[in-house]
Chains A and B, each alone.
Chain A
Amino acid sequence: MIRIEGVSKSFGSNKAVDTISFEANDKEILVLLGISGCGKTTTLKMINRLIEPDSGNIFINGNNITDQKPEELRKNIGFVMQHAGLFPHYTVAQNIAIVPNLLKWEKQKTQNRTVELLEKLHLPEDLLKVYPNELSGGQQQRIGIARALIADTPVLLMDEPFGALDNITKSAIHNEFKNLDELKNKTTILVTHDVVEAFELGHRICLMDQGKVVQIGSPAEILYHPVNDFVKDFFASNRLMLEYKIASVQSVESFLKKPLSPQAQKQLTKNTAIWEMLQILSTEKVYNEDYEALLQAFNQYRKLQTV
């Protein structure tokens, strides 16, 4: 668990982060969302002491982060950057092995773990001997994630990790990332300015503006119960899509007039979002009825949410 208590940071006369406090729980992905210059990246970098706060305290699992040397602290925090930040003079294998080497792992252990991660991230093993400049952007980003995950640290920090990717690559990685079992036992904090990404990946979202936290809560809370007009306006342009994305088919099932057809049922998994299901149903004419039914059920569900 990460606890931020009254932390501030100024650059010159510009107050980048202004006495903010929040917590990130175990096993959750907390998204810091906001426009450029809102202080989200500064906040993130203060957690692994790339930036030192002017005042306030940060605790990881109850320990103040200033009790440790920065280098030791960072070895226990995975970090993923916007532009992968791979070492251009290291092969992929060497890049992934940086932290294990700092931790003085045995070679075999590093190798086994590397192979395991490549598999989970759907990367072929023959990439290992290749240098980063020969990789595509998506591959570089996956290697960057592998490098951050390899030591299985309790905390993972991600600074706009998918920001430099095109939309198609991005949504592919999103899907992979959401389903990574590696994240299940970590506290992950992810910084993004991409509203859709925040809603697709975040268990909770912390919306920031001008160095302050405006609202923190689950996607549904933040969407249906905005604390002020700023929050409301922030999501206005994506609102409809976001609503479809945060509601699961399961949550609207009770509003269905009759159960979905057996063929449609086959497409369902436990947490399928309305958005995904509608996408599937809209592809074939046989689903027309199911499509209509699901839409009606969602509208019922939605009325209750906004009350």
Chain B
Amino acid sequence: MTQEQTLWQFILAQHEKLLLQIGQHLGLTFLSLLLAIVIGIPLGVLISRRQKLAAPVLGTAGVLQTVPSIALLGFMIPMFGIGAAPAIIALLIYALLPIIRNTYTGITGVDPVVIEAATALGMNKTQRLFKVEFPLAMPVIIAGIRTAAVINVGVATLASFVAAGGLGEFIFGGISLNNTNMILAGAIPAALLAVLLDLIIGYLQKSTLKTLKIAFYSVCGIVVAAAAYFIFSGQPEPKIIAGFTPEFMGRQDGDLGLRSVYGLQLKPLVVSDAIMYEAAYQGKLDLISGYSTDGRIKAFDLVVLEDDKTIFPPYYAAPIIKTQTLKKFPGLEETLNLLAGKINDSIMTDLNYKTELLKQTPEKAAKDFLVNQGLYKKANQGNGETIRIGSKIFGEQYILAAMYKMLIEGYTNYNAATKTGLGGTKICFDALMNDAIDFYPEYTGTGLLVLLKPSEQKIKEVSKDSRKTYEYVQKEFQKQYQLQWLKPIGFNNAYALMMRKNQAKQLQISTISQLSDYCAKK
């Protein structure tokens, strides 16, 4: 009951943002759908005329369809920057296959007797297409558009990764921030939009040609208006274009803290961390919220601004594990602690650089490191039980998971399995609590701010000092969740603001206070 009320309260409090996001979401969906129709239907007709082209065209569209959406968005950035353009193009690509294929199927499925009749009566190719083939193929074509529309409502949530807005901002922000209300405030409208669109198009499918024409033109009108409103009503470009992750946007040790402590008033775009480094490198963004050990800092020639008022709490990494799990697997604790204090910031950055930029596998980077440290042992023929290692969906967690797997297999008789790429803090933590995984590396700052969420007073008290933070989360996790924080691995992967090195030099900015002063100047 209280849950429902708070969701409602959340929606009331955020209704302006929600409406904007719904508007953006619809704008993205419709605009990309319209473009897909404009491109897909003629392509479908073309391949129904030249059957030799059918296999390659459908094949290409099919391959594009299988490219993971984040990857596709990533490819778009060098070409189209960030914002609505890459999102619309990515959505367009996903919408193409069902529209091309259904147009092709619809038109080739028209009874050849009817086509022959049309020809014999003296119709030319154009007349045949518009008077016979299109009308008869229309239900199938519309079914394709329907599929594409529903796919697009779903995929449009990912548009938030490239600063194109939409309901994904709430959904992914909520997942990162462990805020269920925020997730639901994004997910429920998105689901409703999908159902609604499906119903409307389903209704059109059964209607006459005339209604269809009216519907098509009115949709065109709405799309143009929506597109104009949401895409071109953009504010004048600020001096510094900031791009923050949805998680960073909602945190006290993120955008909120930058505003209250530093007085830094930016209008940040919301982007995915998977792409923001590259966007910064390309000059599409000037300021991004990254992690201090990220390998891409080195690769993309970025510089971390000094947090001179210490709003970013320490993020020391350490495995977290249920107390009962430690009891169940004797010797595990010692094995996991082999890594304690072994990896400092620069080693971690270097490891990340190797996997992310030099494209080494996390396993190879992990093994090389362990061998170097004299920690590597050949895997035993594990005959014990299997320990499941979780990891979040970014580079260093994959490397850590790989190291732990090798250590467990080398030093104990247990088997080890990795469950890598769990979406975010909430997903990882829930997996741990529900015994889907046995442990994963977590960060003290995340434990403090995302999972425990103590009072502001408490946060101020413990977050200035890394030892205090560790001790506090260690104590509270034990008390609240019966979870143990093992010894810290050594590095501090804290939030950090970063800029391109040469731009920072040129503007003479090396601390966040200087940045704030620069932005305040007219």
A99's contact among B121, B132, B136, by CB below 8 Å, is which?
B121
The answer to whether B113 and A81 have CB atoms under 8 Å apart is yes
Chain-B contact segment, one of A24-32, A82-90, A108-116, A216-224: A82-90
Q: In the assembled complex, which residues on chain B have CB atoms less than 8 Å from the CB atom of A71?
A: 122-124
Mark interface residues in B80-124 (1 if CB within 8 Å of A CB, else 0).
000000000000000000000000000000010110111111111
Interchain CA distance A86-B117 in the complex, whole Å = 7
A87 touches B123 (CB 8 A): no
**Shortest beta-carbon distance, B149 to chain A, in Å?**
24
Q: Is A48 engaged at the interface, CB distance under 8 Å to the other chain? A: yes
Q: Are A74 and B120 in contact (CB under 8 A)?
A: yes
**Cβ contact within 8 Å between B121 and A98:** yes
CB within 8 Å for A102 and B132 given contacts A50-B116, A74-B121, A81-B117: no
With A85-B113, A85-B117 known as contacts, the answer to whether A74 contacts B135 (CB < 8 A) is no
Whether B127 and A83, one on each chain, are in contact in the complex, defined by CB atoms closer than 8 angstroms, is no
Residue interface bits B209-241, CB-to-A below 8 A is 1, else 0: 100000000000000000000000000000000
Nearest-Cβ distance from residue B371 to partner chain A, whole angstroms: 68
Whether A9 sits at the interface, judged by CB under 8 Å, is no
Distance to closest chain A CB from B139 (angstroms): 10
Shortest CB-to-CB span from B107 to chain A, Å, is 14
The A interface is mostly helix, strand or loop, or mixed, namely mixed
Tell me if A79 is interfacial: C-beta within 8 Å of chain B. yes
Instruction: Report the count of interface residues on A (CB-CB < 8 A).
Output: 20
Residues of A within 8 A of B113 (CB): 81, 83, 85
Closest to B118 in A: A87
Do the beta carbons of B114 and A50 come within 8 Å of each other? no
Is A170 interfacial (CB-CB < 8 Å)? no
Question: Contact between B114 and A88 (Cβ–Cβ < 8 Å)?
Answer: yes
B111 to chain A: which residues have CB within 8 Å? 88
Given known contacts A81-B113, A83-B113, A102-B127, A89 and B120 CB-to-CB distance under 8 angstroms: no
Query: Chain A residues near B209 (CB, 8 Å)?
Result: 89
**Min distance, Cβ B53 to any Cβ of chain A, angstroms:** 23
Interface residues of A in 48-87 (CB under 8 A from B): 48, 50, 71-75, 77, 79, 81, 83, 85-87
**Whose C-beta in chain A lies nearest to the C-beta of B115?**
A85
Pair A147/B121 contact, Cβ less than 8 Å: yes
Q: In the complex the two chains form, what is the Cα distance from A98 to B136 in whole Å?
A: 16
Q: How far is the CA of A115 from the CA of B114 in the complex (A)?
A: 24
Residue B114 contacts which of A48, A87, A102 (CB distance < 8 angstroms)? A87
Q: A81 → chain B, closest Cβ, in Å? A: 6
Q: In whole Å, how far is B111's beta carbon from the nearest beta carbon of chain A?
A: 8
B122 in contact with A75 (CB, 8 Å): yes
Q: Mark B276-287, 1 if CB is under 8 A from A, else 0.
A: 000000000000
The residues of B that contact A48 with a CB separation of less than 8 Å are 120
Given known A87-B132, A88-B114, contact A102–B119 (CB-CB < 8 A): no
Q: Given A50-B116, A85-B114, A88-B114, A79 and B121 touching (CB < 8 A)?
A: yes
CA–CA, A102 to B120, complex, Å?
12
Rounded to whole Å, the gap between the CB of B507 and the closest CB of chain A is 66
CB nearest neighbor in B for A101: B131
B-contacting residues, A90-133, CB 8 Å: 98-99, 102
Known contacts A50-B116, A81-B117, A102-B127: A89-B135 contact under CB 8 Å: yes
Residues on the B chain within 8 Å of A72, using CB:
122
Given that A87-B132, A89-B135 are contacting pairs, would A74 and B122 also be in contact in the complex, using a CB cutoff of 8 Å? Answer: yes
The 4 closest A-B pairs by CB, nearest first: A85-B117, A75-B122, A74-B122, A79-B120
Beyond A48-B120, A89-B209: 20 further Cβ-contacts under 8 Å?
A71-B124, A72-B122, A74-B119, A79-B120, A79-B121, A81-B116, A81-B117, A81-B120, A85-B113, A85-B114, A86-B117, A87-B114, A87-B118, A88-B114, A89-B135, A89-B136, A98-B121, A102-B122, A102-B123, A102-B127
24 of the cross-chain contacts (CB-CB < 8 Å) are: A50-B116, A50-B119, A71-B123, A73-B122, A74-B120, A74-B121, A74-B122, A75-B121, A77-B120, A81-B120, A85-B114, A85-B116, A85-B117, A86-B117, A88-B111, A88-B114, A89-B135, A89-B209, A98-B121, A98-B123, A99-B121, A102-B123, A102-B127, A147-B121
